Structure 1
Amino acid sequence: MEKNIIVLSIVALSLACLAFAFEPSPLQDFCVADSTSSARLNGLACKHPASIGANDFSFSGLHLPGNTSNPNGSRVTPVSVAQLPGLNTLGISMVRIDYAPWGINPPHTHPRATEILTVIEGSLQVGFVTSNPDNGLITKTLHKGDVFVFPVGLVHFQRNVGTGNTVAIAALSSQNPGVITIANAVFGSKPDVSGDILAKAFQVDRSVVDQLQTKF
């Protein structure tokens, strides 16, 4: 009996830890973010209800194409709590992604969110890589109206495989999902990660690492 109680206690503790691994449910109707507050907490402080209006729950601009004139040939237009204060504590956000022909959204992760993506126009190759030790690639080519999900924390990417522009809309399960672009993080950290470490990690000559670090 005592062993059963211990096992049940461990299971309950594990479930409790899992429940708190994601953003908690709000305890009021809303908590519009107060960007002027100096209070530091996990999220943003709430504006006084008397100062809240419809504009706090509205964002305009997702109909506008993003400028894809950059080395990746893509542009992400976010709608997170930074752009839409009413998202604070609601655990959701979204983005518009524009891709030039053969443009990419390079390999990256969202440390705090699962992403579900819908292709609005064009064709898009998408994929993610499973965690160690398998590192399996799950990939598919999507067309207009197709939907794909990227599990939280996993490295994923998109590439326009059409001859015209492609547009996608994605929703994420956090008001502030964060993004870690792999190449930027590894080769563009400030200060630099030691070139000797990176050369050994990637099994390349140190000169290759030095060249990559100059690009980021």
Structure 2
Amino acid sequence: MKILFFIAALSLLALTLPLAIASDPSPLQDFCVGVNSPAAGVFVNGKFCKDPRAVSGDDFFFSGLNRAGNTNNGVGSNVTAVNVNNLGGLNTLGISLVRIDYGPNGQNPPHTHPRATEVLVVQQGTLLVGFISSNQDGNRLFAKTLNVGDVFVFPVGLIHFQFNLGQTPAVAIAALSSQNPGVITVANSIFGSSPDIDANVLARAFQMDVNAVRNLQGRF
């Protein structure tokens, strides 16, 4: 009887295993509306594959990450990205890279990468970095002060930030687990959407005066 039960359980496992290990690949765009005919759609964020016979070392090469970005802007930082859009050899490899330059007291403001975990290493300066867990985990802040050579990980999809604590420029390099990680800057998305979110909605959500919300929308 025990043998029959074991055989039945093994058979059930064999039937369900293919379903258990099957999954969709991670999306490479914010959304993709299905169409019945290719003629009715557009090719978004994907890449056609180059003929292997025409591939060369240049397809896997990028130059310029040694150059500092311009941090003369409202947030005092600049992100130089190396992803599938400027390095074709990254296509299908699920990884990309950025250089982040921070002016004195500059920041990479709160943002998320919907499709990637990020690991960051400080090359120059001192940074305050952190991420916030989801509502389910109590919106806890995990923060750390990093010096040259220190590494910090930002889990996929969670809001995170970096702030230059020094009065001199800072530099960090970050790797992301997607060829097209995407970025959603929180303030820009909330107060700079097109068209605007109704100011009354945001006033209640942030417990702010509606005129203060309209002021922020004007800034973004």
Aligned to 1:108: 111
Aligned residue number for residue 210 of structure 1: 214
Tell me the secondary structure at the aligned position of residue 93 of structure 2.
coil
Change (3 A) 1:189 1:10: farther
For residue 183 of structure 1, the aligned residue among 172, 181, 187 is 187
* Percent of aligned pairs with the same amino acid: 55
Number of positions where the alignment pairs a residue of Structure 1 with one of Structure 2: 201
Which of 148, 151, 159 matches 2:152?
148
Amino acid at match of 1:16: A
What runs of 5+ residues in structure 1 fail to find an aligned partner? 25-37
2:169 to 162, 165, 169: 165
> If the length of structure 1 is used for normalisation, what is the TM-score?
0.84
Distance 1:190 1:23 in 2: 23
The letter for the 2-side match of 1:192 is D
Instruction: Give a deviation string over 1:134-188, Cα, whole Å, max 9, x none.
Output: 0000000000000000000000000000121110000000000000000010011
- Which runs of 5 or more structure 2 residues have no equivalent in the other structure? 29-40
CA distance in structure 1 between the partners assigned to 2:16 and 2:134 by the alignment: 25
Q: Give the alignment of 1:86-125 within 5 angstroms.
A: 86-125=89-128
Give the Å deviation of 1:55.
1.4
CA 42–97 in structure 1, closer or farther in 2 if over 3 Å, else same? closer
- Aligned residue type for 2:122: V
Instruction: Please provide the CA RMSD for this pair.
Output: 2.5
In our comparison, the structure showing a higher alpha carbon Rg is 2
Query: Which 4+ residue blocks in structure 1 deviate beyond 3 angstroms?
Result: 1-17, 20-24
Distance 1:41 1:68, change over 3 A: closer
Q: Which amino acid aligns with 2:198?
A: S
Using structure 2 for the length normalisation, give the TM-score: 0.83
Name the aligned partner's letter for residue 164 of structure 2.
N
Shift of 1:91: 0.1
**Match of residue 85, structure 2, among 59, 82, 87:** 82
